[in-house]
Amino acid sequence: MTKEISYKERKVITIGVVSELTGLSERQIRYYEERKLIFPERSPKGNRKYSFADVEQLIDIANKREEGVQTYEIRQDMLKRKRAEDEKAIRKEMLRGQINARFGIQKE
Amino acid sequence: MTKEISYKERKVITIGVVSELTGLSERQIRYYEERKLIFPERSPKGNRKYSFADVEQLIDIANKREEGVQTYEIRQDMLKRKRAEDEKAIRKEMLRGQINARFGIQKE
DNA sequence: CGTGTAAGGAATTCTGACACG
DNA sequence: CGTGTAAGGAATTCTGACACG
C-alpha cells in the first residue's frame, strides 16, 4: 500500500504563483493559513509550498468570502465535511473486516 | 474544443523546487533549456516556471546524461519522437476527413 | 474580523562571464 | 561540451506590527 502522491496533491507551488492563480493577495493566503483553512508545506528554508488542491481550496474560500461567509464558519464546514469523510472511511474498513472474517484474509 | 491544461502540464513550479525534485543543479536546468531540451514559461517578471511534465522530462534527461548521452543527441531523439507524433496526428485527421466526406459533417 | 502596508532581513532568481577539461 | 562558481542586481518571501473598521 504505497502512498503515491498525485500531481494534484504535491506541494510545489510558491505563494507568488498561488496568488496569480487565485487572484488572492499573499496577505490573504497567509491569513487563511493562520485561520487553519489551508496547510502549505515548507521548503527547507521556510518558504510556503502549495498544491493544486490547495489552489482549488483557496478558490472555494474566496467564493465563500465574497458571499460574506466568515473564516470561522468556513472552517467549521471544513471540519464537518472532514468528519463525514472519516466516518465513511471507517464504515468501509469495518465492512472489509467482516468480509475478511467470513471469507479469510486476502492479500490486496 | 477547449484547451484545458491538466495539472501535469501547468507551468507553476519555480527552478528551485525543480532542482529539489530532480536533484539537478539550477545551472544544469538552465543549460538544458539553452540546448532546447526543455521549455519553461516565464512569470511576469521573468522567473522560469516548469510543469510536472517538465520535471519528468528533466529526470529522463538526467538518466540519459548519466549514460553519457550528449545533449545534442537527446535533442535529436526528442525531435524524432515529435515528428512521429505529428504524423500520427495527421493520419488521424485525414481519416476523420474521409469519414466526414462519406457520412457528412458531424458536430463533435 | 479581514486585509493593506511599510520595515528589515534573508533567500531566490536572473544574466553574462570566466574556469576547467 | 557540460558544469561550477563568484558577481551584482532585481524580485520574492518571511515575520511581526500598526492601521482601519
| Closest residue by Cα to residue B38 from B73, B2, B75 | B75
Q: Are A17 and B16 inside 8 Å of each other by CB?
A: no
- What does the longest C-alpha to C-alpha distance in chain B come to? 56
Percent over 70 (pLDDT), chain A: 93
CB proximity B13–strand D (7 Å threshold): no
DSSP states of A15-47 = HHHHHHHH---HHHHHHHHHTTS---EE-TTS-
pLDDT band at B107 (very low <50, low <70, confident <90, very high): low
Using pLDDT thresholds of 50, 70 and 90, give the confidence band for residue A5.
confident
Show the cell assigned to A78. 471544513
Q: Which of A59, A50, A52, A41 is nearest to A8 (CA)?
A: A52
* HEC sequence for chain B: CCCCCCCCCCCCECHHHHHHHHCCCHHHHHHHHHCCCCCCEECCCCCEEECHHHHHHHHHHHHHHHCCCCHHHHHHHHHHHHHHHHHHHHHHHHHHHHHHHHHCCCCC
pLDDT digits (tens, 9 = 90+) for B2-51: 667 899 999 999 999 999 999 999 999 999 999 999 999 999 999 999 99
A65 touches strand C (CB under 7 A): yes
Q: Does A14 touch chain B (CB under 8 A)?
A: yes
pLDDT in tens, A61-97: 999 999 999 999 999 999 999 999 999 999 999 999 8
Of A7, A43, A44, the CB nearest to B8: A7
Give the start-to-end residue ranges of the domains of chain B: 15-103
pLDDT tier at A46, thresholds 50, 70, 90: very high
In this structure, whether the domain defined by A15-103 belongs to CATH 3.10.580.10 is answered with no
Strand A48-49 and strand B48-49: the pairing is unpaired
**Residue B39, by phi and psi: left (phi above 0), alpha (psi -120 to 50) or beta?**
beta
Residues whose CB is less than 8 angstroms from the CB of residue B101 and which lie 6 or more positions away in sequence, other chains included: none
Is the CB atom of residue B48 positioned under 7 angstroms from any atom of strand C?
A: yes
Q: Which nucleotide is nearest to B46 (CA to C1')?
A: C14
Type of residue numbered A2: T
> Distance from A10 to chain B by nearest Cα, in Å?
10
In degrees and rounded to multiples of 5, residue A13 shows phi and psi of: -100, 130
Cα B82 from Cα A17, distance rounded (Å)? 30
